[in-house]
Amino acid sequence: MTTLNPPHLGDFHPSSLERTGSVPPSLLAIHRHLTRLVTQEPHLLCRAGLQEPLAHLAQSAALVDNAACELIELSSAIGLIVQLLEAAHTQPLMGDHLRCLLAPLHDKLKQSLSVLEVAL
């Protein structure tokens, strides 16, 4: 399976949260920013109790990244099914055949959404 990366939203800057109408930073950008801060001030890591939250943030970001990759793959698969249906509009469709195509995609979609729910 090829790993696809979701669009990168750039580095996180605290001031970006204050601007209205701006795109919120990605989890990975926030994690990189916090890790950089903690690296510059290592005593903050222990004193503020940031070790565990940073580890959880990294895990959540990885889960979201994997789920996003799966959703991109699902989008491509569903697009292909739509193309097949458009090409076959003159042929009768058998419900069982369509179900066989869609059932695995539906299962994968539910799994990806569950992963996102846990991560968020």
Mean pLDDT in each 10-residue stretch from start to end of the chain (120 residues)?
Answer: 39 49 74 80 71 83 89 91 81 80 91 86
For residues 57 and 34, is the Cβ–Cβ distance under 8 A? yes
Rg (alpha carbons) of the chain, rounded to whole number: 20
Alpha-carbon distance of 78 to 1, in angstroms, equals 17
Mention every residue, 6+ apart, whose C-beta is less than 8 A from residue 6: 26, 65, 68, 69, 72
Q: 120: which DSSP letter? A: -
pLDDT of residue 71: 92
